[in-house]
Amino acid sequence: MTTTTRGAPRGGSAPAGGARTGRAAAPTRTRPAERGPAPRTGTARAPRRPAAPARAPRMPFVLLVLGLLAGALISLLALRTVLVEDSFTIARLQAENSELVNRQESLQEEVVHLESPERIAREAEDMGMEQGEAPGFLYTDEGRVSGEGSGGASGDGP
């Protein structure tokens, strides 16, 4: 039974330290040993993970996040602008409302003044009207007129 080692020169053993001998030796190339399945031992090893896929580039993700942040900022600014504009509109409408309330109150005071009986009587006199006497009443079934304002009418029937 002979044993041969792979990678060792056939003519004997190689000199230690790679020193050359008197004869020229051809360079030897060794093959890597082919491995078969590893012998199983008492400890179980975790199954091998498949090779990790190549990492996705980070730049598109960073640009997406920056774009979303910029969009959110722009939408917040637009919303803020609309709210400020609405607050100015509300302030203007409230001022206009208070002015209209004041105008309504002054007009109501003017109506109360114009409806006063003293003013109406004074303007009637200025127009040449005279104050009337007590009213007279006509009783048709009896054929008579009563009251101070009967004037020249007689109390006699027909």
- Say how far apart CA 94 and CA 101 lie, in whole Å: 10
Cα 113 to the center of its chain, rounded Å? 53
Q: List the pLDDT tens digit at each of the 158 positions of the chain.
A: 566 556 555 555 555 555 555 566 566 666 666 666 666 666 666 677 777 677 778 899 999 999 999 999 999 999 999 999 999 999 999 999 999 999 999 999 999 999 999 999 999 999 999 887 788 888 899 888 887 655 554 444 44
* CB neighbour list of residue 133: distance below 8 Å, 6 or more residues apart: 148, 149
pTM of the model: 0.40
